Amino acid sequence: MYALIAMALALTLLVVLLRLKVKLGRSMLLSSIALAVLLGVSPSEFLHAVVYEWHNKPLNQTTGYLFVTLTVLVISVNVLGGAMKETGVSQRLVPALQGLFRSRRFALAVIPMMMGMLPTPGGIMLSAPMVRDLGDRIGVKRDRLAAINFFFRHQWESVWPLFPAVPLIQSMFGISAFVLISHNIVIMLSGILGGVIFLLLSGIPPRDRKKQFHGRFADNIRNFIHAFWPIVMVAALYASFNLPPAVTILLAILIFLILHKVPLNRWATLFKSGAEPDFALLILGALLFKLNLEAGQAIPSVVEFFTEMNVPPNFLIFFLPLLVGFLTGVTMPTVAITFPFLMPFIGTGQETKVELETLAFSGLICGLFLTPVHLCMTLSASYFEAPLMRIVLKILGPVIFVAAAGVLAALLL
């Protein structure tokens, strides 16, 4: 019971710090330190936990390896976004998408989905101007545009390797990229279906023939390929050969810079601009939180408590990530905080019940979509000048589809 209270206090501190506008990385690191103090984890116990995982876990599951690779991944995604902006590729993408996808509904959804494949922090603002411009031309209300931009942008979180939570989960459970993606894709597909039904099939005015988007098909295809081949390459190498996304995205960046003839003296500036220290602190804090749970023997203690309370395991697997995701508004720390608790129920390696991981991740996604703490939610409300609760209410229907997909996956897969 005490371990659960300690975790709740550490999470409360995290939420309070975020409310006080302390940067996310610093907040996560301070919360992990507070957890160590609350659990009574001494420096020697912490060091023992580090040494133990170094000797008893595969390299790709150790804290040091995960910190380096996930930090490189997050920073590299930011660098790639900056390179696309500098070369003009991202600016040419919007008219290309509008020219390729004649359906107004499809264009409204596909713009944030495509931009969401490059998950830069606060990156919802990459697609927001495009969606607002297109939606205003069509005559869609701003609160619906905000919901469309926010919801469809985040459909990749359960399967896309550029989101650090995906390789982190893969390493935690010791399963292949293909197995993880093939199970979690039901979350994405159900979210898209729910989004289409609740956000796109209504609230779109009749077509105005005078407001059509034109452009040469060949030019649109070329601009589209220029923007997305690096992202597709990273995902293909990850899914096909299980290569770390941190390695493949660096390769993609180098090829991109060479093909677009970016001067060498600009390379250092691009990489420096993407190296935001708070990214590294966020990853470090999340991994230390997870390690402190292990060092303080909190995981078996909490599992034993819930078992004694006769809490149904499947309810716990779904609800705990939902609760922490709602409180924190961020994906990777929620995974690092909650999934260690769930591992005894889900299993690891060949014993992993991946359908239960899908249930857990669906709960996490539901929490993230509904919380006002989520930075993208607040940015959307501000940019589209729409009441926050109207956005949440419009997303509620699609979120029910995501929850149902997680439950059905646990029952049927």
Query: Which letter does DSSP use for residue 349 in this model?
Result: G
Listing DSSP states for 296-346 in one string gives TTHHHHHHHHHHHTT--HHHHHHHHHHHHHHHH--HHHHHHHHHHHHHHHH
The fraction of the chain above a pLDDT of 90, given in percent, is 29
| pLDDT at 102 exceeding the cut of 80 | no
- Write b or e for each residue in 276-314: b if 16 or more Cβ atoms lie within 10 A of its Cβ, otherwise e: beebbbbbbbbbbbbbbbbbbebbebbbeebeeeeeebb
pLDDT band per the 50, 70, 90 thresholds, residue 408:
very high
Over residues 285-301, the mean pLDDT reads 83
| pLDDT at 212 exceeding the cut of 70 | no
Distance in angstroms (rounded) separating the CA atoms of residues 97 and 100: 5
| pLDDT at 391 exceeding the cut of 80 | yes
Helices (H) and strands (E) in the chain, counts: 20, 0
Does 209 reside within a domain? no
Does 307 reside within a domain? yes
Give residue 99's Cα distance to chain centre.
29
| pLDDT at 244 exceeding the cut of 60 | yes
Distance in angstroms (rounded) separating the CA atoms of residues 171 and 343: 12
Does 378 reside within a domain? yes
First to last CA, the chain: 33
Over residues 256-270, the mean pLDDT reads 87
Over residues 401-411, the mean pLDDT reads 95
Distance in angstroms (rounded) separating the CA atoms of residues 289 and 287: 5
**For residue 32, what are the contacts with CB-CB under 8 A and spacing of at least 6?**
10, 285, 286, 288, 289, 292
Over residues 148-171, the mean pLDDT reads 91
pLDDT band per the 50, 70, 90 thresholds, residue 213:
low
More confident residue, 140 or 216: 140
Instruction: Name the domain count of the chain.
Output: 1
Over residues 190-195, the mean pLDDT reads 97
60-64, 116-120, 267-271, 360-364 — which is least confidently predicted?
A: 116-120
Domain span at residue 25 reads: 2-203+214-412
| Predicted pLDDT at 360 | 96
The tokens describing 36, both together, are 């160590």
| Predicted pLDDT at 208 | 63
| pLDDT at 294 exceeding the cut of 60 | yes
Does 351 reside within a domain? yes
Does 208 reside within a domain? no
